[in-house]
Structure 1
Amino acid sequence: MATEVRVPTLGESVSEATVATWFKKPGDPVQQDEMLCELETDKVTVEVPAPAAGTLGEIVAEEGQTVGVDALLATVEEGAGAAAPAAPKADKAEAAPADDDTGGGETVDVMVPTLGESVSEATVATWFKKPGDAVQQDEMLCELETDKVSVEVPAPATGTLSEILAAEGETVEASAKIATMTTGAGAAAAKPAEAAEAPAAGDSASADVEDAPSAKKMMEEHGLSEKDVKGTGRDGRIMKEDVQKAIAAGTKAKPAEAPKAEPAQAPRAPVPAEDASREERVKMTRLRQTIARRLKDAQNTAAMLTTYNEVDMTATMELRKEYKDLFEKKHGVKLGFMSFFTKACCHALKEVPEVNAEIDGTDIVYKNFVHMGIAVGTPTGLVVPVVRDADQMSFAAIEKKINELGARARDGKLSMAEMQGGTFTISNGGVYGSLMSSPILNPPQSGILGMHKIQDRPMVVKGEIKARPMMYLALSYDHRIVDGKGAVTFLVRVKEALEDPRRLLMDL
Structure 2
Amino acid sequence: MATEVKVPALGESITSGIIAAWNVKDGDYVEKDQVLYELETDKITSEGLAEVAGVISLSAAEGDEVEIGAVIASIDESADAPQKSENSDTKEDAKAEPSEEKTESASEKKSDAVSPAVRRIAEEEKIDPAKVEGTGKDGRVTKGDMLKAGSSRMPAEEEKKPAASAPAPAKPASSGERTTRKRMTPLRAKIAERLVAAQQEAAMLTTFNEVDMSAVMGLRKKYQDAFVKKNGVKLGFMSLFVKAVVNALKEVPGLNAQIDGNEIVQNHFYDIGIAVSTPKGLMVPVVRDCDQLGLAGIEKSIIEYANKAREGKIGIDDLSGGVFTITNGGIFGSMLSTPILNAPQSGILGMHTIQERPVAIDGKVEIRPMMYLAVSYDHRIVDGKEAVTFLVKVKQALEDPARLLLEV
Fold in common (TM above 0.5): yes
Q: 2:38: which partner in 1? A: 143
1:312-351 correspondence to structure 2 within 5 Å:
312-351=212-251
Q: 2:9: which partner in 1? A: 114
The partner residue of 1:174 within 50, 68, 74 is: 68
- The aligned amino acid for 2:16 is E
The partner residue of 1:456 within 356, 361, 385 is: 356
Query: Which deviations, in whole Å up to 9, do the C-alpha atoms of 1:340-374 show, x marking residues without a partner?
Result: 10000000001111111110000000110011000
- The aligned amino acid for 1:171 is E
Query: Which deviations, in whole Å up to 9, do the C-alpha atoms of 1:423-452 show, x marking residues without a partner?
Result: 100000000000000000000000000000
C-alpha contact (below 8 Å) 1:377/1:383 kept by paired residues: yes
Question: Helix, strand or coil: the match of 1:435?
Answer: coil
Inter-partner Cα distance in structure 1 for 2:176 and 2:266? 52
More strand by share: 1
Question: Helix, strand or coil: the match of 1:335?
Answer: coil
1:425-504 correspondence to structure 2 within 5 Å:
425-504=325-404
The partner residue of 1:405 within 305, 309, 318 is: 305
How far residue 332 of structure 1 moved from its aligned partner, in angstroms, is 0.6
C-alpha contact (below 8 Å) 2:54/2:80 kept by paired residues: no
Q: 1:128: which partner in 2? A: 23
Question: Helix, strand or coil: the match of 2:343?
Answer: coil
Quick check: 1:424 aligned with 2:350? no
How far residue 118 of structure 1 moved from its aligned partner, in angstroms, is 1.3
Larger RCO (CA within 8 A; separation ≥ 6) = 2
Q: TM-score, normalised by structure 2?
A: 0.76
Q: TM-score, normalised by structure 1?
A: 0.61
1:333-372 correspondence to structure 2 within 5 Å:
333-372=233-272
Larger-gyration structure (1/2): 1
- The aligned amino acid for 1:172 is V
Stretches of structure 1 that go unaligned for 5 or more consecutive residues are: 1-105, 189-273
- The aligned amino acid for 1:129 is V
- The aligned amino acid for 1:152 is E
C-alpha contact (below 8 Å) 1:117/1:416 kept by paired residues: no
1:158-307 correspondence to structure 2 within 5 Å:
158-162=53-57, 164-185=58-79, 277-307=177-207
- The aligned amino acid for 1:278 is R
C-alpha contact (below 8 Å) 2:55/2:79 kept by paired residues: no
| Structure 1 stretch displaced more, 130-139 or 288-297 | 130-139
- The aligned amino acid for 2:287 is V
1:21-170 correspondence to structure 2 within 5 Å:
106-162=1-57, 164-170=58-64
How far residue 159 of structure 1 moved from its aligned partner, in angstroms, is 1.0
How far residue 113 of structure 1 moved from its aligned partner, in angstroms, is 1.5
Query: Which deviations, in whole Å up to 9, do the C-alpha atoms of 1:205-233 show, x marking residues without a partner?
Result: xxxxxxxxxxxxxxxxxxxxxxxxxxxxx
How far residue 186 of structure 1 moved from its aligned partner, in angstroms, is 7.7
Query: Which deviations, in whole Å up to 9, do the C-alpha atoms of 1:220-274 show, x marking residues without a partner?
Result: xxxxxxxxxxxxxxxxxxxxxxxxxxxxxxxxxxxxxxxxxxxxxxxxxxxxxx9
- The aligned amino acid for 2:345 is Q
The size of the alignment, in residue pairs, is 317
- The aligned amino acid for 1:160 is V
